[in-house]
């Protein structure tokens, strides 16, 4: 079976990590990295692949798919731009990840090695689930959320669009993390976190909006 062409949005170090995932999985052929910030980078190569300017993707709409390797939840602007060019999004799912049959993954997700997604969990579009992330049963994760390595989200949790959970952060069951919130590395969330609030510590407490 011929591997489907795939472009990675982004040219940073995480883009190189995603490139390795794509190679390990073997379902896609990585054809290019895509830059949307510095036009000078579009004249270079990365990991042996060309770097192209974002608007050039329009020439490949219907042929290539894309995935966004920008760690910041602000990647929403980037993926909206690319969607407007007519490009579809692929999900990159490492074979070591365990996804419950009743769970749902949105388009454009990156699911790294060691991830476990529980029963009836719903993962939105363009979510990054980094190495060793755990997502419990009946948990809903909004779009453009970043779950850093070893983040542990329990069951029946609600995580709003664009939230960011740092490395090793924990959210206990039946809690809500609001849209755009930032949970610092190692924090333990035992109370609901409001939208656009930063929390840290054990237990996690608000430090700023």
Residues annotated as catalytic (active site), given as ranges: 137
Residue 192 tokens read as 């609901």
C-beta separation of 118 from 139 below 8 A: yes
Residue 146 tokens read as 């970043």
Polymer length in residues for the chain: 209
Task: Say how far apart CA 140 and CA 9 lie, in whole Å.
Answer: 25
- Written as one string, the DSSP assignment of the chain is -PPEEEEEE--SHHHHHHHHHHHHH-SEEEEEEEESS-GGGGGSEETTEEEEEGGGGGGGBTTBEEEE---SGGGHHHHHHHHHTT-EE--EE-TT-EE-TT-EE-TT-EE-TT-EE-TT-EE-TT-EE-TT-EE-TT-EE-TT-EE-TT-EE-TT-EE-TT-EE-TT-EE-TT-EE-TT-EE-TT-EE-S-B-TT-EEETTTTEEEE-
């Amino acid at each position: 079976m011929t591997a489907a062409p795939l472009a990675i949005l982004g040219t940073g170090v995480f883009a190189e990590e995603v490139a390795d995932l794509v190679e390990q999985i073997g379902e896609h052929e990585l054809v290019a990295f895509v830059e949307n910030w510095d036009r000078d980078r579009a004249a270079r190569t990365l990991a042996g692949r060309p770097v192209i300017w974002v608007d050039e993707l329009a020439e490949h709409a219907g042929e290539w798919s894309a995935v966004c390797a920008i760690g910041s939840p602000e990647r929403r602007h980037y993926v909206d731009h690319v969607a407007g060019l007519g490009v579809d999004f692929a999900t990159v799912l490492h074979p070591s990840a365990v996804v419950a049959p009743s769970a749902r993954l949105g388009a454009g997700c990156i699911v790294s090695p060691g991830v476990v997604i529980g029963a009836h969990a719903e993962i939105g579009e363009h979510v990054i689930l980094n190495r060793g992330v755990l997502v419990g049963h009946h948990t809903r994760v909004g779009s453009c959320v970043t779950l850093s390595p070893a983040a542990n989200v329990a069951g029946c949790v609600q995580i709003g669009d664009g939230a960011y959970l740092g490395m090793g952060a924990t959210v206990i069951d039946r809690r809500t993390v609001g849209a755009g919130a930032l949970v610092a590395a190692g924090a333990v969330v035992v109370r609901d976190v409001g939208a656009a609030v930063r929390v840290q510590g054990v237990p996690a407490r608000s430090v700023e909006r």
